[in-house]
Amino acid sequence: MKKNEEIATIFERIADILELKGENIFKVRAYRRASEALLGMDEDLSSPERMEEMAGIEGIGKSMAGKIKEYLETGSIAKYKDLISDVPETLLPLLKIQALGPRTIMAAFRELGVRDLESIEKAVADGRLAALPGMGEKKVENIRMGIEMYKTGKERISIGLALPVAEEMMLPLRAVAEKVSLAGSARRMRETVGDLDILATCSDCSRAVDAFVSHPLVRKVNARGETKASVIIGTYNLQVDLRVVAPESYGAALLYFTGSTAHNVKLRGRARDMDLKVNEYGVFRGEEMVAGKREEDVYRILGLQWIPPEIREDRGEIEAALAGKVPELVRAEDIRGDIHTHSNYSDGTNDIRTIALAARDMGYGYVGICDHSAASRIAGGMDEKKLGARNEEIDEVNREIRGIEVLKGIEVDILSDGRLDYPDRILEKLDFVIAAIHQGFRKDAAKRMKSAMDNPLVDIIAHPTGRLLSGRSGYDLDIDEIIEYAAGKNVSLEINSHFDRLDLNDLNILRARSAGARFLISTDLHEAGMFANIRYGVGMARRGWLTRKDVLNTYEWKDVPLRRRSKCCR
């Protein structure tokens, strides 16, 4: 987690506790505002020296800046430690439940020993809450409904967070089941998932279910049968569903539980037209089962090519499969290099050598170091002198290390007037230029982005919408207008793999693809260990029906169709 997010979380908790304690509402708001300001900042607060600039940021005053500094220097905030010592942390999420105010929560805590969601549910169910002074049946009924809504309205989480957890949940199953697979939206690589779905074959089904529900991450078992189970795990409070099926039904079940529902409905319609019936057990002609063991078999009997999970959204894939025209989607193995990475010359953790070696371990032929320009001060943006030193170090690393080419790039800020943060004379000397807006999201964003693209030295636009899955809505612009402009100028658009960005996302990629745009898939990593995150960007690209040739970094570096190398559109 970025420091900003860590501190924002603590501020949010301080606000919650102050609210529980009935403290001055202005004090509560000050913490919430500071928390939002931190989350709205694009740059990582990596060191205490940058603190001087903090107090000037809207929403963060002197006292909040002091607490941020304290956290950066000591790793904790004394005020928080103090507060949390007499209110359990597990009580704080209860504030999000409708009809359950801070006063009731504190009364339930002090009088009934309520400490978390589970114990408040119990106190509601057995009438203890209703017996508290000032409560009554009606009020408690509202609270009960509020709890239900809170439980079902759980937020969706990024595929970038969910997938590693899914893999962890599948581990013990692999020891007892012949085949284990992810299903549902996570297999389709949707940008967010509501819950995780896992499918396994079984000969001894109860063993598989046992292995699943006794996974160390499981916090609560919601349902458990002979061939299925549903649990809540401690990580992100995620629900994970397991289904176990006989091997001869595995393909049909995988197809069914992968979805999407819209895709399934359309398939079943097609089956009906052919006098077949498709369900999670197989494909049937009358009583006879004619397919089911493998997904391919199910599609084949319906006269269709196999369809990759990422495009099973009823967006034309069934028609394409019928015509034998399912595109060969770009694969993670096709990626030849990653050119949006941050070293310790700006806000990354590692030196250039370490990044180069990690890229080589990925099997890449090249890696681009793409630090921030000077205007991103909080992200340690480089002045000209520092950029020069960095470029020299890249030359040095290239002389030393074989088997990987290190490239000189920049993530140059698009300033508030649309100019770039460096003059052409500097940009010309680099191998590639990625431009991005990091400040002033609401100020002429479209105009500024277009004016940046008017400079022929700009090859790529980073995270083109600026949205964050955690809540920030992004730049104030019409993305279609930017897509058109980029396609016309041969500027590529980034598919940023960071779990909170996934920007562009699948729908935007589909539109950009129709407009004839080209794409860069990158990690935007700040730690050398993060190269493998490229899979989330690849997932987005596949959901956007992209093939290898649409993606810049599937080419060897010398062949990458960079804008500055193209003859047209300058």
Distance, C-alpha 420 to centroid of its chain: 28
How far apart (Å, rounded) are the C-alpha atoms in residues 363 and 196? Answer: 30
Mapping DSSP to helix (H, G, I), strand (E, B) and coil, where does residue 492 land? Answer: strand
Nearer to ligand DGT, 184 or 464 (CB): 184
Mapping DSSP to helix (H, G, I), strand (E, B) and coil, where does residue 86 land? Answer: coil
How far apart (Å, rounded) are the C-alpha atoms in residues 246 and 248? Answer: 6
Q: Tokens 């970094």 correspond to what residue?
A: 553
Options 233-241, 271-279, 300-308, 428-436: segment touching Ca ion (CB under 5 A): 233-241
Residue 508 burial (10 A CB sphere; 0-12, 13-18, 19+): buried
- Residue 195 binding Ca ion, by CB under 5 A: yes
Nearer to ligand DGT, 190 or 408 (CB): 190
Contact 421, 375 (CB under 8 A): yes
Shortest approach of ligand DGT to residue 437 CB, angstroms? 30
Residue 104 burial (10 A CB sphere; 0-12, 13-18, 19+): buried
Q: What is the DSSP letter of 540?
A: H
Kindly give, in sequence order, each residue whose CB lies less than 8 Å from that of residue 507, ignoring residues fewer than 6 positions away: 544
Nearer to ligand DGT, 278 or 562 (CB): 278
Shortest approach of Ca ion to residue 498 CB, angstroms? 22
How far apart (Å, rounded) are the C-alpha atoms in residues 518 and 492? Answer: 5
Nearer to ligand DGT, 150 or 441 (CB): 150
Distance, C-alpha 244 to centroid of its chain: 29
How far apart (Å, rounded) are the C-alpha atoms in residues 359 and 132? Answer: 61
Nearer to ligand DGT, 265 or 389 (CB): 265
Q: What x-and-dash track marks residues 228-267 binding ligand DGT by CB under 6 A? A: ----------------------------xx-xxx--xx--
How far apart (Å, rounded) are the C-alpha atoms in residues 460 and 161? Answer: 26
Shortest approach of ligand DGT to residue 186 CB, angstroms? 7
Shortest approach of Ca ion to residue 180 CB, angstroms? 16
Kindly give, in sequence order, each residue whose CB lies less than 8 Å from that of residue 37, ignoring residues fewer than 6 positions away: 57, 58, 59, 60
Q: Which pair of structure tokens corresponds to residue 273?
A: 């037209």
Annotate 124-158 with DSSP letters as a single string.
Answer: HHTTTTTTSTT--HHHHHHHHHHHHHHHHTPPPEE
Q: What x-and-dash track marks residues 143-162 binding ligand DGT by CB under 6 A? A: --------------------
Options 192-200, 204-212, 314-322, 368-376: segment touching ligand DGT (CB under 6 A): 192-200
Shortest approach of ligand DGT to residue 310 CB, angstroms? 12
Nearer to ligand DGT, 191 or 405 (CB): 191
Shortest approach of Ca ion to residue 14 CB, angstroms? 34
Say which entry of ligand DGT, Ca ion, none residue 537 contacts (CB below 5 to 8 A, set by partner kind): none
Phi, psi of 525 (to 5 degrees): -75, 150
- Residue 317 binding Ca ion, by CB under 5 A: no
- Residue 184 binding ligand DGT, by CB under 6 A: yes
- Residue 197 binding Ca ion, by CB under 5 A: yes
Shortest approach of ligand DGT to residue 469 CB, angstroms? 13
Distance, C-alpha 558 to centroid of its chain: 31
Among 102, 184, 309, 337, binds Ca ion (CB under 5 A): 184
Q: Tokens 């030359």 correspond to what residue?
A: 395
Among 16, 42, 197, 371, binds ligand DGT (CB under 6 A): 197
Residue 569 burial (10 A CB sphere; 0-12, 13-18, 19+): exposed
Say which entry of ligand DGT, Ca ion, none residue 261 contacts (CB below 5 to 8 A, set by partner kind): ligand DGT
Shortest approach of Ca ion to residue 189 CB, angstroms? 12
Say which entry of Ca ion, ligand DGT, none residue 125 contacts (CB below 5 to 8 A, set by partner kind): none
Say which entry of ligand DGT, Ca ion, none residue 260 contacts (CB below 5 to 8 A, set by partner kind): ligand DGT
Shortest approach of ligand DGT to residue 240 CB, angstroms? 10
Q: Which pair of structure tokens corresponds to residue 2?
A: 């970025």
Distance, C-alpha 494 to centroid of its chain: 15
Nearer to ligand DGT, 11 or 256 (CB): 256
Say which entry of Ca ion, ligand DGT, none residue 259 contacts (CB below 5 to 8 A, set by partner kind): ligand DGT
How far apart (Å, rounded) are the C-alpha atoms in residues 407 and 386? Answer: 16
Among 193, 242, 404, 434, binds ligand DGT (CB under 6 A): 193
Annotate 73-85 with DSSP letters as a single string.
Answer: HHSS-HHHHHHHT
Annotate 504-537 with DSSP letters as a single string.
Answer: S-HHHHHHHHHTT--EEEE--BSSGGGGGGHHHH
Say which entry of Ca ion, ligand DGT, none residue 31 contacts (CB below 5 to 8 A, set by partner kind): none
Say which entry of Ca ion, ligand DGT, none residue 40 contacts (CB below 5 to 8 A, set by partner kind): none
Residue closest to Ca ion, measured at CB: 184
How many residues line the site for ligand DGT (CB under 6 A)? 14
- Residue 241 binding Ca ion, by CB under 5 A: yes
C-alpha separations of 346 from 46, 125, 497 in Å: 10, 55, 19
Annotate 174-187 with DSSP letters as a single string.
Answer: HHH-S-EEEEHHHH
Options 18-26, 239-247, 318-326, 464-472: segment touching Ca ion (CB under 5 A): 239-247
Residue 567 burial (10 A CB sphere; 0-12, 13-18, 19+): exposed
Nearer to Ca ion, 185 or 522 (CB): 185
Report the DSSP beta bridge partners of residue 503.
496
Say which entry of ligand DGT, Ca ion, none residue 335 contacts (CB below 5 to 8 A, set by partner kind): none
Options 90-98, 100-108, 191-199, 469-477: segment touching ligand DGT (CB under 6 A): 191-199
Options 185-193, 317-325, 331-339, 453-461: segment touching ligand DGT (CB under 6 A): 185-193
Pairing of strands 239-245, 228-233: antiparallel
Residues that bind Ca ion (CB under 5 A): 184-185, 195, 197, 241
Residues that bind ligand DGT (CB under 6 A): 184-185, 190, 193-195, 197, 256-257, 259-261, 264-265
